[in-house]
Amino acid sequence: MSPMTRSNLQVGPDGRLKHLLTTEGLPAELIRHILDSADQFVSVGERDVKKVPLLRGKTIFNVFFENSTRTRTTFEIAAKRLSADVINLNVGASSTNKGETLLDTVWNLQAMDADMFIVRHSQSGAPHLIARHVKPGVAVINAGDGRHAHPTQGLLDVYTIRHYKKDFSGLTVAIVGDVLHSRVARSQIHALKTLGVPELRVIGPKTLLPAAVERLGVRVFHDMAEGLKGCDVVIMLRLQNERMNGALLPSAGEFFKCYGLTADKLSLARPDAIVMHPGPMNRGVEIDSPVADGPQSVIMPQVTFGIAVRMAVMSMLGSA
Amino acid sequence: MKTEIRGARVVDPASGRDEAASIFIEAGKVAAIGKAPASFRPDETIEASGLVACPGLVDLSARLREPGFEYKATLESELRAASAGGVTTLACPPDTDPPLDEPGLVEMLKRRAWSLDCARVHPLGALTVGLKGARIAEMAELTEAGCVGFFQGNAPLPDFATLLQTMRYAATFGYTVWLRPQDASLAAGGVAHEGEVATRLGLAPIPVVAETVALRTLIELMGVTGARVHLARLSSAAGVALVAEAKARGAALTCDVGIHHLHLSDRDIGDFDAQCNLSPPLRDPSDRDRLRRALAEGTIDAVCSDHTPIDDDAKQVPFAEAEPGATALELLLPLTLQWGRESKLGLVETLGAVTHRAARILGVPAGTLAPGAHADICLFDPSRSWVVQPQALASQGKNTPFLGLELTGRVVRTLFAGRTVHTA
């Protein structure tokens, strides 16, 4: 018996994007459309007047139930470049502490005629819950929920890969580190699988890989040297401070020794491999400074592209 | 008061009876089935052709929410739901606020239930004071007040020593210890079965080993203490294997499964459907299938509703923050019938899992239509379909994974001690 058929909350019957909640299940065509559209927006950032009027008159709420300066800022910049009115709310510090429920908070903001919510929440699935309860026409963008998804990050990463590698069909991509707690890794995996990457690997100790991860279509490696061989793209994940010393890992030092990306280890990948990191980096924990700042690193372009990709997503949702 | 129920198909799993017959009721008891007792003149005749008459269902776990959670449900609303679901005997877990750890609380609950006069309510006493896992509850006093067993609910016990001593103490008096086989440290923080679904959705996992490690420990301690144990809510195929093995060795062990776990799996969580946040978690479809077979084979002794009325506010939150559980008293019969149909079982075997097999675990006289038994009878239409909707439920809890689904089998009339307490 299956009482719930998996509803498609984010793509309407007409194939248009209604919300962006996860990269899982997004059709390849739609992803390509977002990436193509982001191409146009990259140039906006290079102009003197970095603004286009696409979302003029629209009100966008950046609702962060979990603190994040960086992601919130990139969404804010993207919205402002699209000429939207942006309101930043750090809800973690206000209403939920007064006992207001998540949905009450959202309904209150909706009553202020919000057109779009950008939501970050520590609980997996919170943006889905919100998307299910907002008025038709109000869009929700997931800016990171628990361990589940961070779709704009996943999309900016595939944008970056496409920018440098042009084509996904022959690529070997490795994602290294704390996959267990990483919403970024999940969003990357779904997007890259959909776009046809033939060899997708995850590398990490058994304590930092989630159960049945191979069912997501990845090959599992515990030996980093083995896993990096022949890679075109190496994506390093951030190791949260609180995971470094505990039951999952003995120490940051030992993690770096086994899974930190050094120039030596990188030399096992293809010579033209690119190195990515969603930030913020822990230098000397998951990545060595010479690699982070080296010629193969595309970490800074990722940040730049991130704004374009978010503009692309917001413009698609805001003009619906 | 004499009543005759005419024309029904009488299914009494305890005796194996399955035939069209009349039931004769006198003074709240079953007087006879088939042939009327000498000079029986009914005051009331219930025409029941096309219906099945079976013993009122016996539910091993229904949360009535009193005392303490009256905003979620009350004894009135939930016993109404029991009647609407054909349930006439039920055990209620001690996880109220305060927990049922004092004879006074148990007596009050029994008295309240008695005054509502529509179901036999058998409280399970708290295993430890306040369910805190520190001091053993006053088991002898609580038994005198009416408790039929002692349960720690979903609350963990802090260590094996406490578990050992509570089991040993209960064994002194021959009380049954009810335990949820789930190791607290292995399940800590988890909200979904460890597997592909939890990995995709980024939900903190509860591995199967949380169940098997707990089961191995319990079975080991049963051997040492001689305690009689009832395992509440098995969830995995590996757990079934351990129980089967222990039973084969003659352990004084019984176990149950919640009705949801016979029909649902972690796949049904879909896009974070908080209705599927249950405890234990819904596991893999292969676990579900094994549980279904184990109940049919008898390795699992009974199925229960694990009824937990939950207010909307506690469900309309992100999945992991949702209160686990679902309203189920009124779904127990149709979902059990569905399990029976899909398992190609007759009504005798099917209904046995919610009547006399459950009553035997509680050690109470219920779940049978034998002459002299309480005339607690469920009359249902096995082919009537209905849609699970909030307004179709008497329970104050409207949250269930089956909302919107059509189920087959609807209770038409419930008799408690010979008196009609529900008609539909």
Residues A212, A235: one domain? yes
Indicate the SS3 state at residue A14: coil
Which residues of B are less than 8 Å from A133 in CB distance? 316
- Last residue of one domain, picked from the residues B362, B388, B410: B362
Q: Is the confidence at residue B332, as pLDDT, over 80?
A: yes
Active site residues of B: 306
C-alpha Rg value of chain B to the nearest Å: 21
Chain B (292-351) residues lying within 8 Å, Cβ to Cβ, of chain A: 313, 316-321, 338
Query: What whole-number distance in Å separates Cα of residue A95 and Cα of residue A65?
Result: 10
Residues B338, B224: one domain? yes
Residues B109, B45: one domain? no
What is the number of other CB atoms lying within 10 angstroms of the CB of residue B54?
Answer: 30
Residues A140, A78: one domain? yes
B368 in any annotated domain: no
Asked if residues B96 and B127 have their Cβ atoms less than 8 Å apart, the reply is: no
Residues B346, B396: one domain? no
A219 in any annotated domain: yes
Residues B31, B79: one domain? no
Do residue A183 and residue B202 have CB atoms under 8 angstroms apart? yes
Which residues of A are less than 8 Å from B271 in CB distance? 4, 6-7, 9, 125, 128
The contacts of residue B95 (CB under 8 Å, 6+ apart) are B63, B131, B153, B154, B155
B18 in any annotated domain: yes
The contacts of residue A178 (CB under 8 Å, 6+ apart) are A204, A208, A237, A238, A239, A240, A243
Which residues of A are less than 8 Å from B405 in CB distance? 1, 3
Question: Which ipTM did the prediction report?
Answer: 0.94
Do residue B318 and residue A5 have CB atoms under 8 angstroms apart? no
A108 bridge partner residues: none
A263 in any annotated domain: yes
Per residue in B335-361, pLDDT (tens digit) is 999 999 999 999 999 999 999 999 999
- Reduced 3-state DSSP string for A19-50: CECCCCCCCHHHHHHHHHHHHHHHHHCCCCCC
Indicate the SS3 state at residue B314: helix
What is the number of other CB atoms lying within 10 angstroms of the CB of residue A50?
Answer: 13
pLDDT reported for residue A96:
56
Residues B405, B418: one domain? yes
B401 in any annotated domain: yes
Residues A92, A163: one domain? no
Q: How far is CA A153 from CA B124, B275, B289, in A?
A: 51, 30, 39
Residues B301, B416: one domain? no
A274 in any annotated domain: yes
Distance from B406 to chain A by nearest Cα, in Å? 10
Q: Is the confidence at residue B384, as pLDDT, over 50?
A: yes
Residues A84, A33: one domain? yes
Phi-psi region of A189 (alpha: psi -120 to 50; beta: other; left: phi over 0): alpha
Beta pairing, strands B228-231 & B377-387? unpaired
Q: How far is CA B94 from CA A131, A221, B65, B128, B148, in A?
A: 37, 48, 9, 10, 11
A130 in any annotated domain: yes
Asked if residues B287 and B263 have their Cβ atoms less than 8 Å apart, the reply is: no
C-alpha Rg value of chain A to the nearest Å: 19
Taking the Cβ of residue B271 and every Cβ of chain A, the question of whether any pair is shorter than 8 Å is answered with yes
Residues B47, B65: one domain? no
Residues A156, A144: one domain? no
Distance from A178 to chain B by nearest Cα, in Å? 13
Per residue in B166-190, pLDDT (tens digit) is 999 999 999 999 999 999 999 999 9
B153 in any annotated domain: yes
Q: At A215, which CATH number?
A: 3.40.50.1370
Average pLDDT value for residue range B237-251: 97
Closest Cα partner for B324 from B280, B284, B265, B288?
Answer: B280
Residues A62, A184: one domain? no
Residues B42, B67: one domain? no
Phi-psi region of A146 (alpha: psi -120 to 50; beta: other; left: phi over 0): left
Place of tokens 């923050």: B321
B94 in any annotated domain: yes
Residues A156, A123: one domain? no
Residues A159, A289: one domain? yes
Which residues of A are less than 8 Å from B403 in CB distance? 3
Asked if residues B161 and B176 have their Cβ atoms less than 8 Å apart, the reply is: no
A6 in any annotated domain: no
pLDDT reported for residue A1:
43
- The tens-digit pLDDT sequence of chain A (320 residues) is 444 444 589 999 989 999 999 999 999 999 999 999 999 999 888 888 889 999 999 999 999 998 888 999 999 999 999 999 999 988 775 555 667 889 999 999 999 999 999 999 999 999 999 999 999 999 999 999 999 999 999 999 999 999 999 999 999 999 999 999 999 999 999 999 999 999 999 999 999 999 999 999 999 999 999 999 999 999 999 998 777 777 899 999 999 999 999 999 999 999 999 999 999 999 999 999 999 999 999 999 999 999 999 999 999 999 75
Average pLDDT value for residue range B379-394: 97
Residues A73, A156: one domain? no
Per residue in B126-167, pLDDT (tens digit) is 999 999 999 999 999 999 999 999 999 999 898 999 999 999
pLDDT reported for residue A95:
54
Asked if residues A239 and A282 have their Cβ atoms less than 8 Å apart, the reply is: yes
Render the burial of B102-137: b for 16+ CB within 10 Å, e for the rest.
Answer: bbebbeebbebbeebebbbbbbbbbbbbbbebeebb
Residues B174, B258: one domain? yes
Q: Name which of B195, B202, B403 is nearest A148 (Cβ-Cβ).
A: B202
Residues B391, B300: one domain? no
Query: What whole-number distance in Å separates Cα of residue B106 and Cα of residue B110?
Result: 6
Asked if residues B422 and B413 have their Cβ atoms less than 8 Å apart, the reply is: yes
What is the DSSP annotation of B61-130? -B---TTT-TTT--HHHHHHHHHHTTEEEEEE-S-SSS-S-SHHHHHHHHHHHHHH-SSEEEEPEESBGG
Distance from B85 to chain A by nearest Cα, in Å? 20
Q: How many domains does chain B have?
A: 2
Distance from A104 to chain B by nearest Cα, in Å? 10
Q: What is the mean pLDDT of chain B?
A: 97
Q: Name which of A1, A126, A216 is nearest B318 (Cβ-Cβ).
A: A126
Asked if residues A75 and A312 have their Cβ atoms less than 8 Å apart, the reply is: no
A284 in any annotated domain: yes
Q: Name which of A5, A129, A216 is nearest B272 (Cβ-Cβ).
A: A129
Share of chain B above pLDDT 90, in %: 99
A52 in any annotated domain: yes
Residues A175, A70: one domain? no
Whole-model pTM: value is 0.95
Do residue A4 and residue B205 have CB atoms under 8 angstroms apart? no
B155 in any annotated domain: yes
Do residue B401 and residue A4 have CB atoms under 8 angstroms apart? yes
What is the number of other CB atoms lying within 10 angstroms of the CB of residue B314?
Answer: 18
Boundaries of domain holding A49: 28-150+304-318
What is the DSSP annotation of A227-280? HHTT-SEEEEPP--HHHHSSSS-S-HHHHHHHH-B-HHHHTTS-TT-EEE--S-
Query: What whole-number distance in Å separates Cα of residue A39 and Cα of residue A300?
Result: 17
A8 in any annotated domain: no
B367 in any annotated domain: no
Quick one: how far is CA A44 from the chain centroid? 22
Determine the residue of chain B that is closest to A146 in CA distance.
B202
Place of tokens 């379909």: B385
Residues B30, B67: one domain? no
Residues B27, B134: one domain? no
Closest Cα partner for B95 from B140, B141, B132?
Answer: B132
- Chain A interface, Cβ < 8 Å to B: 1-7, 9, 24, 101-103, 121, 123-126, 128-129, 133, 145-149, 183, 186, 210-213, 215-216
Taking the Cβ of residue B266 and every Cβ of chain A, the question of whether any pair is shorter than 8 Å is answered with no
Q: Is the confidence at residue B83, as pLDDT, over 50?
A: yes
Do residue A124 and residue B319 have CB atoms under 8 angstroms apart? yes
Q: How many domains does chain A have?
A: 2
Most B CBs within 10 Å, among A1, A24, A215, to test the B interface: A1
Which residues of A are less than 8 Å from B319 in CB distance? 123-125
Boundaries of domain holding B48: 2-52+374-423
Determine the residue of chain A that is closest to B275 in CA distance.
A4
Overall residue count recorded for chain B in this entry? 424
Closest Cα partner for B63 from B53, B72, B54?
Answer: B72
Q: At B121, which CATH number?
A: 3.20.20.140
Residues A159, A291: one domain? yes
Residues A101, A122: one domain? yes
pLDDT reported for residue A97:
60
Tokens of A310: 């978010």
Q: Is the confidence at residue B67, as pLDDT, over 60?
A: yes
Most B CBs within 10 Å, among A6, A124, A147, A206, to test the B interface: A124
Place of tokens 């800590």: B188
Query: What whole-number distance in Å separates Cα of residue B107 and Cα of residue B414?
Result: 26
Indicate the SS3 state at residue B354: coil
Query: What whole-number distance in Å separates Cα of residue B309 and Cα of residue B394?
Result: 11
Do residue B320 and residue A125 have CB atoms under 8 angstroms apart? yes
B369 in any annotated domain: no
